[in-house]
Amino acid sequence: MKEQRDLGLLILRGWYWTALHAGKSLSHAGLAPLIARMGFPIPVVLALWVTFNESIGAFLIGCGFLTRVMAASAALGMAGALYTSVRLGEDWLRAALYLIIFVTLSLTGAGEFSVDHLFRRKKSPTTMERMG
């Protein structure tokens, strides 16, 4: 059961990585003006944060490194994207789907097939060390 969950989390991360790099990124020219028009504060900083989430953050999530932190950050970004999509009357389904994915990953972590798991395993003492 645990292996199935971990495999599912690997597929979820991979699906997100594939979809993002298929040209479906929300980051584009004119992002800061759009953020300002929606009434969010510090639009330039938020535009840089969104761009980071959708590039470096996406890569880290895809690798399963710092997954909970990066997924929580991306979930906040997707909540803003969902709000913006609904407010502008645009298709909001993709933003909602990514929001669900990121909330799930931030709550569960990346699973066994991830860089996070490799680092956790290296830090924890082996069973023999605990016994002796």
Residues in contact with 102: Cβ distance below 8 Å, sequence separation at least 6, in sequence order: 71, 72, 74, 75, 78
Q: Percent of the chain having pLDDT more than 70?
A: 79
Mean pLDDT of the chain: 82
Give the pLDDT score at 48: 87
| Residue-wise pLDDT tens digits, 78-92 | 999 999 999 999 999
Give the pLDDT score at 26: 42
Give the pLDDT score at 64: 94
| Residue-wise pLDDT tens digits, 42-78 | 888 898 899 899 889 999 999 999 999 999 999 999 9
Judge whether residue 103 has pLDDT over 80. Answer: yes
Domain ranges of the chain: 2-121
Give the pLDDT score at 42: 87
Enter the tokens of residue 49: 């944060």
Structure-model confidence comparison of residues 13 and 6, the more confident one: 6
CA-to-CA dists, residue 83 to 39, 47, 76, 80, angstroms: 11, 15, 11, 5
Whether pTM > 0.75 for this model: the answer is no
Q: 58: how many CB neighbours lie within 10 A of its CB?
A: 21
Give the pLDDT score at 24: 42
For residue 89, give the DSSP letter.
T
Mean pLDDT confidence for 28-54: 84
